[in-house]
Amino acid sequence: MQTQFITARRLGWLCAALYAAQLQAAPALPAKPVLGWQETNLTLQNGSVNVPIQWNMWWGTNGNQWQLLQNGVVVHSASLSPNGQNAQSGNKTVSVTAAGSYEYVVALCNVVGSERSCTQSDKRLITVTGSGDPGTPGGFDPWTQLNFAGWPKPLLQQNKPYQNTSNKMVGGYFVEWGIYGRNFHAYDIPAKNLTHLFYGFIPVCGANDALKRDNPQGYSALQAQCNGKPDYSVVVHDKWAALDKGYANDKWDQPIKGLFAEMYRLKKTNPHLKILPSVGGWTLSDPLYKVGTDAKARAVFVASVTDFIKTYDFFDGVDIDWEFPGGGGANDTLGSPQDGDGFVLLMKDLRTALNALSAKTGRTYQLTAAMSGGVEKLSRVNWEAAHPYMDYINLMTYDYYGAWNGTLGHMAGTYPNSNSPISGFSAEEAVKHLLARQVPANKVTIGAAMYGRGWKTVSGVKNGNPFTGTGGEGIAGSWEKGIEDYKKIESQLLGGPNGSGANGYTLYWDEQAKASYVWNPATTSLVSFDTPRSVKAKGELIRQYGLGGIFAWELDADNGQILNAMHQGLGHPQQ
């Protein structure tokens, strides 16, 4: 009896173990789904085209779920009811709003708990042609069908014509939101005096927590644009500004209007000008951390970028404004040591895609990146490996100091000052770092500021030198606290283009840093900014080191004086 009891108990254990093993085994693999017939060459109509995907599994092991993958990303998922070995089918219509190549795959799956077994269909490649995303019907050619009367536009404000005899970059950032409060439009851009125009900013779909926190309205606009698109795709941000706003030459039923239509006019009448979408920015960089370190996210992103610049073909490449690889951007929860090599992989994949696009179009596309002008952040990137893929590295040699804290220093200093509170915060230090990292000098550009940063209630000043004190809150600013446009500084704080100070402010010059500032001891207010004098000093540094040129943030804050000085610093003669 005892022996029989032990045997029965052991047999029970064995059965339980076998049952548990069955529960843990992978679900049965479904039979292979087959895609139905589909036209593989489609054309955008009124800015979009529907792609109907239909599939069948005629006989075999059933699945309980199916998924549709577009370019490797799941864009649809649905449950199924298994029915023995009988046929199963499904369908889904996907709306596409940009020209490009789209690869579709259906996966038939059995899902049990956390276990999944899937069988994929053969791949189906569908090519979508035409212009517009959204709002442009296929067949509309902006190069010939837009009204170009009155273009090119003359230079406005104090902009003077210069001849670029050095063949160096003279670039500027144009921001989409500048058409609102600043009332600065594409026709105000001094295109004749620019070699490069950077259009800011093009956002990336996905988690954008920094934008959600700092700009809820902008976040809502982005969510609307990303609806139906895979994460890590690039899209326009303000659709009304970019594609819908009517300008003087536009017709009410014109398929593409807004700033993008103006960009076509700008490019056609200034063919020398390179126009690049700047992807990212201070509050739009969150998804770039994933793009840099995740191969699947990067593949979606790169394909989306090339489709974007192919659709809106006034663009001449792409500018990446990832702030910042390794961390220290608007979202302080993001950043890792892997970002430095991730940036290299991003540059490599973008260059490969741009070269492939060039082979199809016959055009040359440039790849640039806006990078921190601080040595510490620059040091996190593997520049030895990254630079071969890039045309320019645009060093943001401004925003070194500002009213986000009380540390006082030159916000756009050209050279280090012996009393600078933070090492590595000057244009020359940033340049030397890249040159020491084997970056060719002609790929390095430095930035001029068309604005200033300032503090109120500066305390603890010694011997009349405000930089010995501690800054308080930021100056009021016309558009943002702590910041003021150069044109407003010139008129209100300098007393004109040749002024030495106004309204209690006095203009000073730091010979060591080659930097300008104004100080009002009565109100204890300090403003640090670039002047034509300091910008010319940056030009001298560029010529000294044989750099690739200079660019500025941002064009709507200038009255022409800073851009004129950019040319003068490079030795360009006035025409």
- The H-or-E segment that residue 299 falls in is helix 295-311
- Positive or negative CA dihedral for 143, 145, 151, 157? negative
Structure tokens at 407: 């540390």
* Helix, coil or strand: residue 240: helix
Interatomic CA distance for residues 198 and 316, integer angstroms: 10
- DSSP letter at 155 equals P
Structure tokens at 118: 């899937």
- DSSP letters spanning 306-349: HHHHHHSTT--EEEEE-S-TTS-SS-TT---TTHHHHHHHHHHH
Interatomic CA distance for residues 428 and 483, integer angstroms: 24
Interatomic CA distance for residues 521 and 518, integer angstroms: 10
Contacts of 475 (CB under 8 A, 6+ apart): 403, 454, 455, 456, 481, 482, 483, 484, 525, 527
Interatomic CA distance for residues 175 and 484, integer angstroms: 16
Contact present, 62 and 33 (Cβ < 8 Å): no
Catalytic residue among 103, 115, 262, 323: 323
Residue among 359, 346, 289, 355 at smallest CA distance from 319: 346
Contact present, 236 and 222 (Cβ < 8 Å): no
The total of other beta-carbon atoms located within 10 Å of residue 543's CB is: 14
- DSSP letter at 206 equals S
Q: How far is CA 260 from CA 132, 151, 264, 553, 554, in A?
A: 10, 15, 6, 20, 18
Interatomic CA distance for residues 371 and 378, integer angstroms: 7
The total of other beta-carbon atoms located within 10 Å of residue 376's CB is: 15
Q: What is the CA radius of gyration of the chain?
A: 29
Is 511 catalytic? The answer is: no
My answer on whether omega of the bond before 440 falls inside 30° of 0, hence cis, is no
Interatomic CA distance for residues 431 and 437, integer angstroms: 10
b/e burial code for range 108-117 (CB count within 10 A of at least 16 → b) = bbbeeeeeeb
Q: How far is CA 405 from CA 400, 409, 449, 455, 560, in A?
A: 11, 11, 20, 9, 31
Active-site amino acid positions: 323
